[in-house]
């Protein structure tokens, strides 16, 4: 359904409350284009807090999906000195404003605004993403974000979550919600590694950053994986080895189908490389 709508200060939450029952609502932008989300700017104080929540800095490549007048991209380049900023918006009026604002802030050497559909963008180079969109748009973007962004990349949303992907952090600023999500490595599957001629096997399940599973010890005994933490590319867990004085501890960095890790068992720390077999 196509809607012409003027949006007041109540923000996208009010738009969502009004139109949540209407499937695939479209909005007409000032430049006459059909949009998935109407233009509502994020207040500057919240822009600053969103970038702070993601700990944005000079090593980052930042994308803002639906960049409006460019304020988040311009702020990240001017104040956080990101090495590259990219804003994408379908509305040519917003793109013109964003380019003007980048010029005023003196950051045109590091920022680009593209007039494009955000669903057509490739996110693989972005280390930080900001989004002030609608819930169904966030959900539609979620698989693309998880597939294309590197583990450890940060995503900050204003107002809306990512469905059952739980945020790693949540802040409320002036009654508005902002959420931080850290892209988790893909760890689901069977991993094996050797210590000398002893073989360990971990069967891991995963729901976003929540991991669980079973460890098979060299003697064939299976024990539950305890206290698993998946933080971007890093995974740690413990396991109780029957008869051992201290728990086994595994701490590694995932790189595709390999985990380079340290495993502490029976008071000895060993460097291991786990390989994914399924
Ligand atoms: C709520 S505003 C957010 C603006 C800016 N990110 C901010 O927080 O101030 C959403 C923006 O998304 C743009 N937009 C909507 N649908 C889009 C699409 N499919 N592709 C690219 N931009 C889109 C709109 O033109 C609008 O500027």
Contact 97, 105 (CB under 8 A): no
Quick one: pLDDT band at residue 25, thresholds 50, 70, 90?
A: confident
Q: Using the 3D structure, point to which of 162, 182, 202 is the last residue of a domain.
A: 182
Strand partners, 27: 3, 35
CA distances (Å), 50 to each of 76, 130, 138, in order? 10, 8, 16
Q: Using the 3D structure, point to which of 160, 182, 204 is the last residue of a domain.
A: 182
Same domain? 113 vs 35: yes
Same domain? 66 vs 202: no
Q: Does the CB atom of residue 50 touch ligand 1 within 6 A?
A: no
Q: What is the pLDDT of residue 90?
A: 98
Number of domains in the chain: 2
CA of 6 to the centre of ligand 1 (A): 14
Give the residue-averaged pLDDT of 117-140: 98
Pairing of strands 198-207, 210-216: antiparallel
Pocket test for ligand 1, best of 66, 72, 116, 179 (most atoms within 8 A of CB): 66
Same domain? 62 vs 120: yes
CA of 208 to the centre of ligand 1 (A): 26
pLDDT at 5 over 70: no
Same domain? 158 vs 29: yes
pLDDT tens digits, residue range 60-74? 999 999 999 999 999
Q: Does the CB atom of residue 67 touch ligand 1 within 6 A?
A: yes
Same domain? 143 vs 47: yes
For the full predicted model, state whether its pTM sits above 0.75.
yes
Q: What is the pLDDT of residue 151?
A: 98
Same domain? 203 vs 174: no
Q: What percent of the chain has pLDDT over 70?
A: 92
Quick one: pLDDT band at residue 13, thresholds 50, 70, 90?
A: confident
pLDDT at 220 over 60: yes
The CATH number of the domain holding residue 100 is 3.40.50.150
Strand partners, 255: 258
Q: Does the CB atom of residue 36 touch ligand 1 within 6 A?
A: yes
Same domain? 114 vs 161: yes
Give the residue-averaged pLDDT of 238-258: 96
pLDDT at 30 over 70: yes
Give the residue-averaged pLDDT of 159-178: 97
Q: Does the CB atom of residue 154 touch ligand 1 within 6 A?
A: no
* 103: containing domain: 2-182
The CATH number of the domain holding residue 209 is 2.40.128.20
Same domain? 67 vs 106: yes
Same domain? 148 vs 24: yes
CA of 39 to the centre of ligand 1 (A): 6
Q: What is the pLDDT of residue 277?
A: 87
Same domain? 145 vs 213: no
Same domain? 9 vs 118: yes
pLDDT at 4 over 60: no
Q: What is the pLDDT of residue 206?
A: 98
Pocket test for ligand 1, best of 19, 68, 97 (most atoms within 8 A of CB): 68
- Ligand 1 atom at shortest distance from the alpha carbon of 47: 8
Same domain? 27 vs 99: yes
Q: Using the 3D structure, point to which of 131, 154, 182 is the last residue of a domain.
A: 182
Q: Does the CB atom of residue 40 touch ligand 1 within 6 A?
A: yes
């Amino acid at each position: 359904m196509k809607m012409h709508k003027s949006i007041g200060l109540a923000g996208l939450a009010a738009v969502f409350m009004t139109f949540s029952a209407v499937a695939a609502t479209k909005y007409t932008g000032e430049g006459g284009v059909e949009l998935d989300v109407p233009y509502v700017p994020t207040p500057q104080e919240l822009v600053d807090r969103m970038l702070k929540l993601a700990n944005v800095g000079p090593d980052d490549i930042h994308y803002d999906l639906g960049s409006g007048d460019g304020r988040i991209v311009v702020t990240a380049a001017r104040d956080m000195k990101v090495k590259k900023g990219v804003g994408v918006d379908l509305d040519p009026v917003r793109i013109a404003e964003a380019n003007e604002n980048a010029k005023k802030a003196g950051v045109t050497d590091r920022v680009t605004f593209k007039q494009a559909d955000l669903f057509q963008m490739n996110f693989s180079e972005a280390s930080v993403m900001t989004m002030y969109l609608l819930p169904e748009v966030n959900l539609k973007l979620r698989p693309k974000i998880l597939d294309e962004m590197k583990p450890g990349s940060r995503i900050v949303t204003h107002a809306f979550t990512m469905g059952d992907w739980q945020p790693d952090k949540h802040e409320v600023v002036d009654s508005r919600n902002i959420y931080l999500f850290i892209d988790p490595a893909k760890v689901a599957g069977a991993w094996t590694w050797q210590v000398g001629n002893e073989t360990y096997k971990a069967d891991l399940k995963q729901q976003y950053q929540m991991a669980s599973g079973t460890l098979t010890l060299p003697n064939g005994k299976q024990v539950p994986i305890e206290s698993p933490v998946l933080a971007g590319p890093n995974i740690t867990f413990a396991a109780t080895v029957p008869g051992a004085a201290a728990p086994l501890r595994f701490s590694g960095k995932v790189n595709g189908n390999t985990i380079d890790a340290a495993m502490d068992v029976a008071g000895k720390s060993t460097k291991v490389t786990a390989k994914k077999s399924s």
